[in-house]
Structure 1
Amino acid sequence: MDHPYDIYREEVKEALRCKLDEFALLDFTEVTEDDLWEMLTKKRWKKPQEDIHIYQIVSDIMSVKPSDMMNFISALEMTAENLFSEENQEELRELLK
């Protein structure tokens, strides 16, 4: 378990599936449950709350937009491509904010 909210993942599995179904209706089918969870833990929940409630986690899941996922995936791809490039580090920091 890398993230404090990982202990809730099974409890919110239906919300994750529901969000993926919504993405599929919008023809955004490439995203997996793992991709969605990774985006949430690395971006939306970068600073976890100690006293988080399940309804807050579900609300965060349900508020993810396809554009949020696209931005996150693009930033990950850019990171992988330019991992050792010093000139792109500042631009990458801006994308990951």
Structure 2
Amino acid sequence: MTVFAVEYVYDPDLAERRDECRPAHRQWLGELVEAGVLLASGPYLDGSGGLFAFVAADEAELHKVLAQDPFALHGCVAGTRTTGWNPVTGLLKEYAQGA
């Protein structure tokens, strides 16, 4: 399994739509935490986006998961960046490749 850092970029013009979808988005996130797929998540304090740490077999599997996000389903995200990540220190280090 690989840890992926996922960054969402928000368009300020879509704030109202995100507010409407946020309860479903957070429920979806909670389900992923329970399933062991989501390690951490949260919005940026300036409202410009959010950062997530997911576990997936590969990037194709990750994108299948992200496509189910109510924010994605309702066009609430202006951009997404995904990057494989190897957390070697801190609370997520147990997920490091080769740990």
TM range (shorter): 0.3 to 0.5
Structure with the largest fraction of helix: 1
Q: So what's the TM-score if we normalise by structure 2?
A: 0.33
TM-score between both structures, scaled by the size of structure 1: 0.33
Which structure has the larger Rg? 1
Structure with the bigger RCO (C-alpha within 8 Å, sep 6+) is 2
Q: Whose strand fraction is larger, Structure 1's or Structure 2's?
A: 2
